[in-house]
Amino acid sequence: MSKRGRKLRQVKRRYPIGAEVIGEKETHFRVWAPKAREVGVVLEDGALPTSACSPLTPEPDGYFSGTASAPAGARYRFRINGGKNSYPDPASRFQPQGPHGSSCIVDPTKFPWNDAEWTGVKMKGQIIYEMHIGTFTKQGTWRAAAEQLAELARIGITVIEMMPIAEFPGKFGWGYDGVDLFAPSHLYGTPDDLRAFVDHAHSLGLGVILDVVYNHFGPDGNYLGIFSDDYLVRGKGHDWGDVINFDGPNSGPVREFFVTNGQYWIEEFHFDGFRFDATHAIRDQSDEYIIGAVGRAARKAAGARSIVLIAENDLQEANMARSRSEGGDDLDGMWNDDFHHSAAVALTGRNQAYYADYIGAPQEFISAVKYGFLYQGQATSWRKALRGTPALGIAPEAFVCFIENHDQIANTGPGERLRLQTSPGRYRAMTALLLLGPWTPLLFQGEEFGAASPFLFFAEIGDPPVREAVRKGRAKLLAPFLSVTEEEALKNLPAPDDPRVFAQCKLDFSEREKKRQLYALHIDLLKLRREDSRFRQQIPSGVDGAVLEQASFVLRYFSKDNNDRLLLVNFGENQVLHPASEPLLAPPLGYRWETLWTSDSLRYGGTDAVAIASQEQWFLPGESTVALRPVSARCKERRLGQPSRKT
């Protein structure tokens, strides 16, 4: 065993970097600092005078390590080469005063977990709920958010997807500019508050996955350059900054940093997986792609627990969701922006910017049902490039579909919810398609009850020049969506660093009662998906579809026992099909179709019209989605009652 390996085992460290409590009032520190000749730990909180420095021992490959008398809760910084300044730990477990403050020693073993029986989550059968902790409640804390979990579980949510929480600068932000990737943001509470949130979620049967950003570091509060020049590749950046060095010289410790980060969140906080942000912005030509490496290490850390790993990938590189033996990265799912873009065009008629590559026609939704991504290698007009790779053979649950998420709401400029940009009937019909489709549905916080609150881009980051650069960047991004010049966008868009912008985005849970019809729509759909034998299953090639008219189509969910389902979706006006020559409309032999559910129910604010299949014709009510099931043709003609009005 190498000298480094002996040292790590002697002190019984869990991870190769960071501060770890190893005994009564004793902590072991280890940091990668190849730029330094010497590194010392400056301890605070009475452990040692702030002027005193405990030296660390240099190791091979640029590491420094050592033990000091310091208990959990003590604060510390690293002093480099005996200088006057000292810096927070790049692998700090907690930054009580933000990224510029001192690091805090954390003992994770003291938290009393109650989820020993929790077996984790798998991709099939999940309903994901994206949540931003800072705006989910008025208080903006994990404790306050935990109080709402029981209601989310009651209505049928199964997995919380938490937007990034790694420590970031400022008093508010989306979290995608994190700089201390091991430290849960002090803005939302303590590390144990986060553990309590996850523990409580598990007690309710809810999984929790974490949105992690491994494609860049934020520009403010990032002290990595003090310790090493090899974390980043300078001059080869993207819109968010320099790319991370995953495959260049001295990239081994950098990769170790991120692989360790994935293990850490799974082991010490019991997360049930990750959503990997913007993987298309990661540069890595290594034999083992870093996201695959992190995912495999995370699964190993989870042990017997099942976790899910989901990628956001603008290039739609479908192999990410294939096994490594098939040349993939062993992930479980990918966000499907294609579905959202088609839905947005169908609902609003908007076709600016990247929406120009979609028409919102019935065939797009049928193709999404059958094949997942719409673009699997075809040309796009917006980027003037080929987009996507073949996704044939990938399970339907691997595609995460949505009509709202944090990006897409904010990209409207005013942060307006999609339901406010279309008619109520058409929105109900699209919601039904989302929640009954064979993919994995995702809802964004408040969507389930029709939240009126916008979701704008907000970030209190850096000094005035940095904030101005952020404003200009947003204006450049959104100008095409708004059909205005960059100058007009810069003038009219809300300032991201304005506290009032952040405050506007907080949810008001009294809207659950005020908008009971929309809330009931979501609750009933989630129940129907959960309890119906066909909508519940996500069988490859188990659904076929056909275009009926310009704005309508049918989906047929097949079974082996004459228990098929039809989903009739009509985004247009009332339609009469005569003749009705589409064979998917034909009932099983000896059966007829009966209405199971309709989005146009009075219960949801509709007109109570239903699809009617008579001997002469088919009638499709306008702006509605109707689910039908087969019943024996010998049964007395009747109409199935609407779902219970109780929720």
Residues catalogued as catalytic: 277, 312
Q: Rounded to 5 degrees, what are φ and ψ at 94?
A: -170, 135
What residues contact 75, with CB distance under 8 A and at least 6 apart?
A: 43, 44, 45, 96, 101, 102, 103, 104, 105
Q: Rounded to 5 degrees, what are φ and ψ at 518?
A: -70, -35
CA distances from 203 to 116, 150, 197, 624 (A): 10, 10, 10, 37
DSSP secondary structure string for all residues of 217-269? --SSS--HHHH-S-SEEEEEEETTEEEE-SSSTT-HHHHHHHHHHHHHHHHHH
Q: Which parts of 464-603 are beta strand (E)?
A: 543-549, 552-557, 565-570, 575-577, 591-598
Dihedral over Cα of 239, 242, 243, 248: its sign: positive
**Greatest C-alpha distance within the chain:** 91
- What the block records as the tokens of 234 is 């300078």
What residues contact 148, with CB distance under 8 A and at least 6 apart?
A: 136, 137, 509
The CA distance from 420 to 296, in Å, is: 42
The CA distance from 355 to 357, in Å, is: 5
Q: Work out whether strand 128-131 and strand 440-444 pair parallel, antiparallel, or are unpaired.
A: parallel
The CA distance from 350 to 480, in Å, is: 12
Q: Work out whether strand 26-32 and strand 63-68 pair parallel, antiparallel, or are unpaired.
A: antiparallel
Report the SS3 class of residue 180.
strand
Whether the link from the prior residue into 49 is cis, omega within 30° of 0, is no
Taking alpha carbons only, the member of 305, 213, 306, 312 closest to residue 258 is: 213
The CA distance from 36 to 65, in Å, is: 13
Q: Work out whether strand 86-87 and strand 75-80 pair parallel, antiparallel, or are unpaired.
A: antiparallel
**Hey, what's the torsion of the CAs at 480, 481, 484, 486, to 10 degrees?**
-60
Cβ pair 164, 174 in contact under 8 A? yes
What residues contact 514, with CB distance under 8 A and at least 6 apart?
A: none
The CA distance from 248 to 255, in Å, is: 10
Rounded to 5, what percent of the chain is helix, strand, coil?
Answer: 30, 20, 45
The CA distance from 565 to 286, in Å, is: 47
The CA distance from 582 to 617, in Å, is: 12
- What the block records as the tokens of 526 is 């989630």
